[in-house]
Amino acid sequence: SFGVYESQGLYERSRASRLASIAPRDGAEVVLTLDAALQTAAQETLAHPVPPPLGDDTDQLWFANPVGAIMLCTVDGAVLAAASEPAAPGLEPTPGRGRARSEPRERVFHRPGFNPPGSVFKPFVASWALDKLSYNPQRQYPCNGRFETIACNGVHVSCDLRRALVVSCNAYFAQMGLEYPPDDLVSMAREFGFGQATGAWSVAGFGAGEGWEDWRLHARLSDDQVRARLESRFDRVRFPNGLQVLEATPAQVARGMCALATGRLPDLRLVASIGGRE
């Protein structure tokens, strides 16, 4: 079904219209990959998050005014849950946090604005370096709370790769990024599906076709655009930390994680079958 409602009255019947000669036909049954219980649980978790015990690092303002997304999928790309919050209109903006709380929208596959992946991008940078650049994971980089123009979330003195991932050291990955040839930074992002369509809105064999997925559904950036931005040292140290240049949706991050786990970048699927066809 294409969501079109057609009606036919006496006037239309009295004319030799195209509709008069076409028998009604039911649409094909669509079976989604979504797990109803998981979807409900994900939505409820976002809408009513339970804060951890009070601590200095607990963002109580977020727990009182949650904004975000949860996506769960299998490693072969079947989407089991895709929840967004807020899901209802009429909410007041979070004080000091912009208007996101008052803007209900789908946030798993769409980007609401500038939407960098943040520190979740670091495992992809590390994996590529180990696999493609013969990177030594024992290599140490200093951290004094910042590196040049980029701040860190703590002072870690010195980190190897494992510790840098555990404490999410921005200074380490900034320095590591300077060791990357710019072309490898571009290739790494492409290898894990960043800047590309996820496949969730393209249904093979049902008329969707290659390139059908609308650019608004995901964050795109051409290879040439990335290379040009990486000429700037300011951007070069931020890129490996997921803070600049590259944008990503939760769906793109989840797809990349599937590739990181299995070595294969799957197409995400929201539809299991249409009319009995997988």
DSSP-assigned states of every residue in the chain: --S------HHHHTTT-TGGGS---PPPPEEES--HHHHHHHHHHHHS----S--TT--HHHHHS--EEEEEE-TTSBEEEEEEE--SS-PPPPTTSTTGGG-----SSS--SS---GGGGHHHHHHHHHHHS---TT--EEESSEETTEE-SS--EEE-HHHHHHHT-HHHHHHHHHHS-HHHHHHHHHHTTTTS--STT--TTTT--TT-S-GGGS----HHHHHHHTTSHHHHHHGGGT-SS----HHHHHHHHHHHHHS--PPPBSEEEETTB-
Confidence (pLDDT) at 219 = 57
Confidence (pLDDT) at 221 = 62
Which of the residues in the chain have pLDDT under 50? Answer: 1, 206-212, 214-216
Confidence (pLDDT) at 42 = 96
Confidence (pLDDT) at 265 = 94
Confidence (pLDDT) at 208 = 45
